[in-house]
């Protein structure tokens, strides 16, 4: 199951207990204090791992606790430190402290690490409390508990190209024919319920495309499914805006384009300003030429690419345009 948000508690390990002990060896029945210190508790560490793209592996964990330090022992031996607990999360994970309402870090690069909870220090053994007037101390210093936090993890999928458009605009179909991705495809709205990633290759080059659930009017306010996934578009380098130009389109092409643009701009200024490639889809269908003519009247400052995923017309031109746009020399605003 795809999961891009999760809230759970994490706790570092407690410090180990310092002990009271006295040296007892042959010919030294009343040796001095030799109680060792407790070991440090393990830290809780988040690690950005490119092998993950969802938080579903953490969905069953309401609370995660690292190992505590072991008690000290005689002969001034310190206890063993608790092992750090590493939690692997997708690249692009935002880490928030729920109770303090602060963003701790954006794990945006593979290998990024964040210690979210530090392990507690071990308690001191009685070896530290010997004085000239108290040569047989029976006191210790208590260990320090490990830190605890309530975290919210939020994944913003990282991709070069984000596919947006109304439901049934042809996003999943396009991704399935230009990459090895196999998103669910059907002739009804909201077939895509979770983001899908696909790799588009051109020669030795490649880029990552993200197919996101279709947007509808009011998506930025919570209508439909789009508001859950608009955040993923913020991570993409360019937007691939697909508009169904066929006579059976959910909305007239010109209106469909305006609807999506309004939702992107209303969600955040970042999305409104993101470079965009506009594509007219289903150009093999009845009425597509008429729909394209209407779309061109609205999209005045951009070239519009024409494709048909069914006949594969225009797909090579689209691939070249996307690579050019990602490099910064393509047909973007």
pLDDT for 176: 80
Which tens digit of pLDDT belongs to each residue from 274-301? 888 999 999 998 889 999 999 999 997 7
Which tens digit of pLDDT belongs to each residue from 80-108? 999 999 999 988 899 999 999 999 999 98
Q: Give CA angle at 242 (237, 247), nearest 5°.
A: 175
pLDDT for 228: 61
pLDDT for 329: 58
Tell me the pLDDT of the chain averaged across its residues.
83
**Distances in whole angstroms, Cα of residue 322 to Cα of each of 40, 73, 110, 229, 329:** 52, 65, 24, 22, 10
Q: Do domains 1-155 and 161-327 have the same CATH topology?
A: no
- Which residues have CB under 8 Å from 108's CB, separation 6+? 48, 91, 92, 158
State the pTM of this model. Answer: 0.70
Distance CA 15, CA 37 (A): 10
Query: What is the CATH architecture assignment of 1-155?
Result: Distorted Sandwich (2.70)
β-bridge mates for residue 323, sequence order: none
Neighbour tally for 134: CB within 10 Å: 11
Tokens, residue 257: 């384009």
Which fold does the domain 161-327 belong to in CATH? Answer: Rossmann fold (3.40.50)
**Distances in whole angstroms, Cα of residue 92 to Cα of each of 175, 226, 281, 323, 325:** 22, 19, 30, 22, 22
pLDDT for 222: 46
- Token pair 């608790």: residue: 82
Distance CA 211, CA 251 (A): 20
Q: pLDDT digit of tens for each residue in the chain (333 aa)?
A: 567 789 999 999 999 999 999 888 777 667 789 999 999 999 999 999 988 878 888 878 889 999 999 999 998 999 999 999 999 998 889 999 999 999 999 998 999 999 999 999 999 999 999 888 888 899 999 999 999 999 999 887 777 888 888 887 787 788 888 775 444 433 434 344 456 677 788 777 888 888 776 564 544 444 444 556 677 777 788 989 999 999 888 889 999 999 888 888 888 888 888 888 999 999 998 889 999 999 999 997 778 999 998 888 998 898 888 888 888 755 444
Q: Show me where the domains of the chain are located.
A: 1-155, 161-327
């Amino acid at each position: 199951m795809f999961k891009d948000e999760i809230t759970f508690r994490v706790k570092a390990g407690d410090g180990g207990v310092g002990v009271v002990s006295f040296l007892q060896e042959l010919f030294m029945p009343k040796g001095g204090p030799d109680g060792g210190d407790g070991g440090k508790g393990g830290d809780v560490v988040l690690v950005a791992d490119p092998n993950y793209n969802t938080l579903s592996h953490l969905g069953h964990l309401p609370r995660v606790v690292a190992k505590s330090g072991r008690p000290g022992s005689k002969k001034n031996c310190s206890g063993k430190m608790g092992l750090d607990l590493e939690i692997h999360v997708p690249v692009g994970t935002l880490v928030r402290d729920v109770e303090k309402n602060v963003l701790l870090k954006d794990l945006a690069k593979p290998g990024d690490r964040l210690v979210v909870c530090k392990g507690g220090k071990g308690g001191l053994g009685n070896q530290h409390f010997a004085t000239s007037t108290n040569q047989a101390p029976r006191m210790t210093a208590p260990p320090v508990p490990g830190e605890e936090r309530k975290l919210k993890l939020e994944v913003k999928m990282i991709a070069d190209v984000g596919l947006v458009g109304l439901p049934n605009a042809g996003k999943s179909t396009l991704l399935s024919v230009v990459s090895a991705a196999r998103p669910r495809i059907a002739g009804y709205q909201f077939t895509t319920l979770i983001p899908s990633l696909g790799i588009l290759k051109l020669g030795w080059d490649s880029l990552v495309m993200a197919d996101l659930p279709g947007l509808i009017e009011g998506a930025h306010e919570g209508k439909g499914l789009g508001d859950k996934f608009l955040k993923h578009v913020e991570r993409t380098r360019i937007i691939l805006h697909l508009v169904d130009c066929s006579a059976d389109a959910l909305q007239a092409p010109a209106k469909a384009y305006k609807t999506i643009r309004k939702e992107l701009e209303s969600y955040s200024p970042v999305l409104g300003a993101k470079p965009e490639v506009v594509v007219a889809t289903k150009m093999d269908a009845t009425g597509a030429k008429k729909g394209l003519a209407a779309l061109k009247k609205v999209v005045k400052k951009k070239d519009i690419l024409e494709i048909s995923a069914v006949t594969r017309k225009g797909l090579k031109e689209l691939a070249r345009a996307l690579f050019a746009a990602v490099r910064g020399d393509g047909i973007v605003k």
